[in-house]
Structure 1
Amino acid sequence: MTSSSRPVEGTMIVQRRAVTAVLAAAALLLTAGCSSDDEGGSSAGGDGTASSDTTSAAPSSGTTEEAAPAKGSAEVVRTVAENLKSPWGLAPLPDGTLLVSSRDEATITRVDPKTGKQTELGEVPGVSPAGEGGLMGLALSPDYASDHMIYAYFTSASDNRIVRMLYEEGKPSGEQLGAPDTIFRGIPKGFVHNGGRIAFGPDKMLYAGTGESGEEGLSQDKESLGGKILRLTPEGEPAPGNPFPDSPVYSYGHRNVQGLAWDSKQRLFAAEFGQDTWDELNAIKPGDNYGWPEAEGKSDDPAFHNPIAQWTTDEASPSGIAYAEGSIWMAGLRGERLWRIPLKGTEAAAEPQAFLEGDYGRLRTVAPADGDKLWLVTSSTDGRGSPEDSDDRILEVRVS
């Protein structure tokens, strides 16, 4: 069955194993009906408060991999671009320039990081921005050098979907995007919890983080595409080797996945919004169940795969992640900080560290740059921040 003929909801199943972890728990004081999600409201956007310090899993004594240093650093080298409107996805091109999506304006813009010059490629047709939905994740085809295809995840009038478009660089500004070819459709949409991150993995398969669209039951529903990590071929079919036959589902039991990254050993990690209590960083194992809505954060239930690190919702509300210098780097929206999670194998080697706290407002996307550098995208113009002059921005950050 092709993805374009697939019903709105696909097939899925899964199980979960617990990761050996030690998490420092603390008491929480919560206001009623809050959600960390993008970035402080269930469907209404109210703020909840949670006390207690960041907690993370202690490394297993059984792993022999060298641990990343317990302490690192992050400093902003410079501002690359300014005055971006609701930036969301970021895709570095082979020549070093950057593509950035505008969630609310449904445009893709090319940014020259040397000069800051911005060139609009065009508007993506069919995008229906509202709430947390709109034009979100971007990814380049694994064969971009020959096919010049850009992939995008967006909210339409009826669902969330993934399209690909030809980038025709020689055409005038605003007319450089070819007509979108929908390769996958039917991901549940909502005013909140639309997921939206896409990335091609080391296996050249397309991974997508989805949300449960505000309907908690979809995450455990074996017939729904909501609250999952999906693994697809570049044409939008279920990828060979997926844990469930003829299904795009790679893992399930997620609430709202907006961060995907692989380490140097090609292992997948994902960041996930919690509701009232814990945001999560997870090491992803195909076919595993990550617990939502039965579990939020660490659980004693062996059916669920525990996070390797967790945060109170006001400290994080995590969106994009990237791997660099032996650590996962995680952008925090409500938390307004960049988190470093040092790794030892698929576990946290030490307590996470926070950087840039409150310095640049809400942080949406982080992506590898050259060497020990990262690209970091702010998100203060998305309707939930407090924009200042020059917001939003792309920053170049040096990390260790």
Structure 2
Amino acid sequence: MSRPAVLRAVGAVAALVCAAGCSPGGDAGARNTSPPGSPPAASSPVSAAPAGEGRVTVAGTLAEGLRSPWGLAALPGGDLLVSSRDDRTVTRVDGRSGAKRSLGEVPGVVPGGEGGLMGLAVREGWVYAYLTAEADNRIVRMRYGGGAGDRLGTPEPVLTGIPKGTVHNGGRIAFGPDGMLYAGTGETGRTGLAQDRASLGGKILRMTPEGKPAPGNPFAGSVVYSYGHRNVQGLAWDDGGRLWAAEFGQNTWDELNLVEPGRNYGWPEAEGKAGRAGFVDPVAQWPTSEASPSGIAWARGAVWMAGLRGERVWRIPLSGAERSGEPEAFLGGEYGRLRTVLADGAGRLWLVTSETDGRGTPEPGDDRILRLDVG
């Protein structure tokens, strides 16, 4: 089935009453089928904004044929690691040729629903992974030398006891500019967990690389950094070191939040810009049909956000802690569901599609890692 082109959208439209923000949506549509590692043909779809606004150009397909890809992390030297949520595997992808090499299956992963092997992060010879186990969600780390023939070492627990569920497992992890490890978690459909500061569900967590509460955390002896979240899957820092997070809404508003320690982001008492005392309003919001955001990245003065139901990449220009313009949408419907976006450090982005996660409409070549030139 071919997916009809979706026109580029600017800003939010009226809210739609729908199923949970992470539910499937959209028909199948036209795709870029360039061979891995090659630039797109002249007829390949390319999206760009008018002069003076943001732009996105699909510079090529790095890799294809990935199954349920979720997490993406860069190795020193430019190669990438990608996790398969359902297959429980980590694959190394050459950052130039797109050649793939399996590093093996991660033991202890129990896929199901929205759980499995999810976020990845790399630091000083360790590969960190957020995964769903038999009794909980947890963060582990595995030794990895990075040489030819090297495989992942035995997982060592970093943080255990994160609530798990069929839905809303969070899953994104990233090291911040302070050297601490951050994690976005979900409330697993049990909405009360988000406001319970004793629970690790519905939170953004901050910890040392060994999993201990990080110095300066707002709640003594706790890894909880912020609370009142529904399902956080996007974490990124801007040039000023500020933390931004993307969050799934329920029936009305998906959110982009500026995250500050100890603050309450409202769920389930507030969704979107509620203007209620004690809760932090998002900097930007979208109807759940237009976003359902997963990964985000910072590049060229903007947060870039990958949308699942929305099947598009959003650009949110920022100046300090404020928006400097209206959000802009690109690639609407051209590549299906979009899971993860990662900055390459040179002002470009890697983008991972998500058509083989059980909620998309896979076509030959899915899923893919795309190279984006942005501005």
The TM-score normalised by the length of structure 1 is 0.83
Query: Does structure 1 residue 383 correspond to structure 2 residue 358?
Result: yes
Q: Deviations over 1:82-137 (max 9, x none)?
A: 00000000111111110000000010000012111100011100000001000000
Q: Give the corresponding residue for 2:141.
A: 164
Question: In the aligned structure 1, how far is the partner of 2:79 from the partner of 2:302?
Answer: 24
3-state secondary structure, aligned to 1:242: coil
3-state secondary structure, aligned to 1:36: coil
Q: Is the 8 A contact 2:14 2:287 kept in 1?
A: no
Query: Does structure 1 residue 319 correspond to structure 2 residue 294?
Result: yes
Query: Does structure 1 residue 331 correspond to structure 2 residue 306?
Result: yes
Q: Is the 8 A contact 1:197 1:259 kept in 2?
A: yes
- Write the letter of the residue equivalent to 2:220: P
Question: In the aligned structure 2, how far is the partner of 1:79 from the partner of 1:241?
Answer: 42
Query: Does structure 1 residue 277 correspond to structure 2 residue 248?
Result: no
Q: 1:28 to 1:326 in 2, by over 3 A?
A: closer
Among residues 28, 31, 35, which one is paired with 2:20 in the alignment? 35
> How many residue pairs align between the two structures?
341
Question: In the aligned structure 2, how far is the partner of 1:30 from the partner of 1:343?
Answer: 29
Give 1:218-367 correspondences, 5 Å limit: 218-367=193-342
Q: Give the corresponding residue for 1:17.
A: none
Question: In the aligned structure 2, how far is the partner of 1:206 from the partner of 1:177?
Answer: 20
Q: Deviations over 1:271-313 (max 9, x none)?
A: 0000000000000010000000000000121211000000000
Question: In the aligned structure 1, how far is the partner of 2:66 from the partner of 2:264?
Answer: 37
3-state secondary structure, aligned to 2:151: coil
Query: Does structure 1 residue 130 correspond to structure 2 residue 104?
Result: no
- Write the letter of the residue equivalent to 1:193: H
Q: Is the 8 A contact 1:81 1:113 kept in 2?
A: no
Question: In the aligned structure 1, how far is the partner of 2:174 from the partner of 2:145?
Answer: 21
3-state secondary structure, aligned to 1:235: coil
Question: In the aligned structure 2, how far is the partner of 1:25 from the partner of 1:362?
Answer: 19
Question: In the aligned structure 1, how far is the partner of 2:52 from the partner of 2:274?
Answer: 25
Q: Is the 8 A contact 2:311 2:336 kept in 1?
A: yes
Query: Does structure 1 residue 82 correspond to structure 2 residue 57?
Result: no
Q: 1:256 to 1:70 in 2, by over 3 A?
A: farther
Q: Percent identity?
A: 65
3-state secondary structure, aligned to 2:200: coil
- CA-CA distance at 1:260 after TM superposition: 0.2
Question: In the aligned structure 2, how far is the partner of 1:272 from the partner of 1:30?
Answer: 17
Query: Does structure 1 residue 154 correspond to structure 2 residue 131?
Result: yes
Question: In the aligned structure 1, how far is the partner of 2:52 from the partner of 2:71?
Answer: 30
Question: In the aligned structure 2, how far is the partner of 1:358 from the partner of 1:393?
Answer: 15
Question: In the aligned structure 1, how far is the partner of 2:208 from the partner of 2:164?
Answer: 22
- Write the letter of the residue equivalent to 1:116: G
- Write the letter of the residue equivalent to 2:20: S
Question: In the aligned structure 2, how far is the partner of 1:70 from the partner of 1:218?
Answer: 44
Structure 1, unaligned runs of 5 or more: 1-23, 41-46, 49-68
- Write the letter of the residue equivalent to 2:283: I
Question: In the aligned structure 1, how far is the partner of 2:105 from the partner of 2:144?
Answer: 12
Query: Does structure 1 residue 102 correspond to structure 2 residue 84?
Result: yes
Q: Deviations over 1:235-261 (max 9, x none)?
A: 000101001100111000000000000
Q: 1:399 to 1:26 in 2, by over 3 A?
A: closer
- CA-CA distance at 1:359 after TM superposition: 0.6
- Write the letter of the residue equivalent to 1:105: D
The TM-score normalised by the length of structure 2 is 0.88
- CA-CA distance at 1:25 after TM superposition: 8.2
Q: 1:311 to 1:182 in 2, by over 3 A?
A: same
Query: Does structure 1 residue 212 correspond to structure 2 residue 187?
Result: yes
- CA-CA distance at 1:349 after TM superposition: 1.2
Q: 1:94 to 1:215 in 2, by over 3 A?
A: same
Structure 2, unaligned runs of 5 or more: 1-10, 27-50
- CA-CA distance at 1:71 after TM superposition: 1.7
- CA-CA distance at 1:183 after TM superposition: 1.0
